[in-house]
Amino acid sequence: EPEVTQTPSHQVTQMGQEVILRCVPISNHLYFYWYRQILGQKVEFLVSFYNNEISEKSEIFDDQFSVERPDGSNFTLKIRSTKLEDSAMYFCASSESGHNSPLHFGNGTRLTVT
């Protein structure tokens, strides 16, 4: 069964540094998402991306965050200047036709900001 893959599985960075989290969505999917999960808490929506542009973003997704689809397969989340409170699991997800179809999540990247 095709799956969403994310790299790295764990990223440790110092406060103020830039990080890029990478995702390869399922190949025939058109909608891409980033969610995050602070340890022990709920899964929170960050951003959705379709047709090479952001279609929706949450309040969490401020100017420190950006997303990009640099080629036909990768989808990246960049955090420009990390803060301690950015420490969380970041999940990439994709779907065939937007929020009206099931979301398929990757296994996540655990980001630890020290």
Cα–Cα distance, 22 to 49 (Å, whole number): 14
Segment 66-105, which members bind another protein (CB under 8 A)? 91, 93, 98-100, 102-105
Sites for another protein among residues 17-36 (CB under 8 A) = 33
Residue 87 C-alpha from the chain's centroid = 13
Q: In what order do the strands lie in the sheet with 75-79?
A: 5-7, 19-24, 75-79, 65-68
> Looking at 61, 75, 86, 108, which residue binds another protein (CB under 8 A)?
108
Residue ranges that bind another protein, judged by CB under 8 A: 4, 33, 41-45, 48, 55-56, 58, 91, 93, 98-100, 102-108
